[in-house]
Structure 1
């Protein structure tokens, strides 16, 4: 397992605990009491470090290389029932945007989300989770198919942003994202959105308009990344921690500003520390949200969604 810089005290204690257990196994020395003492120190250290995380540290956790990605969640939640669908029927199949049909229990859902890679080869294959216009058009095609057959939509957000390359702009990146936002506001089936990692810029919002929007505890959602914000305001990436603080991008900040509907608790140390528990929490949230929305008529569904987003940003002096 990889450790972030602020997790190094935990790594030292876990290494000590491992060595202590090895000594006990390879010799006749009773190390049970020593192991218990290290375990107590470890528990205290974990509690102290993870309960006082800064916004920048949460950004780092959202990017942890061991963190489960979109396909990990879908396969764990749906098992063998997931059927991936491909292509935008116009240009090509974007590997950074995945989608398809899957079941939770007896209920079918259309799952859509950005997919990152776990090593150099797959990161290039998935374009680092940055979708091109054809990715957003594929997502819209799948949403429209779901609407046609009355299937609820689940979107899982995890992207550093839409791909900013010249070819993406030539094929209409901005229009594709804007079109998705427009169409999602008036889609006649329930939309459940969960931020499972990075929720950056219009790249996330392009599949992020939902009746219910939830964030995992150690994720972020913002118009710009802390690094990009720092480079614009301070002409340097060195101020990314201050930028993360100022952007109010954490799940707690977003809930306080009423921009999301709730926060999904993660295991101590992040989603990667106990994947099965994280998958169960996400699955339970999807089912709960669907139960709240399934009896609404298409007219009420769209009306409530429109009102939800129209009220954002309204304030009184």
Structure 2
């Protein structure tokens, strides 16, 4: 397994490449110490019921089309409609929400899934997740969850391990990570995901009938990273520009579910990454899914103090 280093803030952050394909933060040597603010909170297991489960649809049948149509039909609408362009603004008006995330990749017969859950404050533009890595992702049987503080231009990690003191955070400058940190941390920032829709094109509305319960509407299309970076709000431009440079293609396929208020309820992106291993280059699809629910729920946020941030070099194992 190869290791790439990105210079971020005060130190270099090593990210795994090769076997995992997705540039997920490596966790070899993770400490067993829990983030004191998360201990006993159970945020990773909490799921607040909110209107209905998007995964099962209003009928309750797994995999059912959320628009209620037996055989989903697509009606092309072309460029991004206003509801997609204004998705980030709708989230800001909602104030906050609970979040559930997943990043999945497949390389040959190997599939890796990173799961996360927590909350996001759209006014403060910051969220808090507990990210859980699968067994054997980096050679160990079990891995302690990583606490992440998300912001459009930076990421803070607690319980990072690999030589990091167990009472220190690691800071990553998202604008200096090859993919703009859209998947590096094992989750996609919800606000950046919404800003990415400003570059949507080839958009279709999925489903034959009226929107499902709550006015939920399913949009499918392709977002252009470069176009999104140009159209995005200033807080998201840097990371989207970095992503436009770092991914194998600017085209990002997406499925977005929005409710009657224009709030994103679920969004799935399919990114294409180029991996160089064994002297060969190959492209791999990475699927990132973000689900938002329980809008208005309180979110506990406390950015780390400068003295609590580790500025040393972080290494990942090679094999």
TM over 0.5: no
Instruction: Pick the structure with more helix per residue.
Output: 1
Greater RCO, 1 or 2 (C-alpha within 8 Å, sep 6+)? 2
TM-score (norm 1): 0.27
Q: Which has the larger radius of gyration?
A: 1
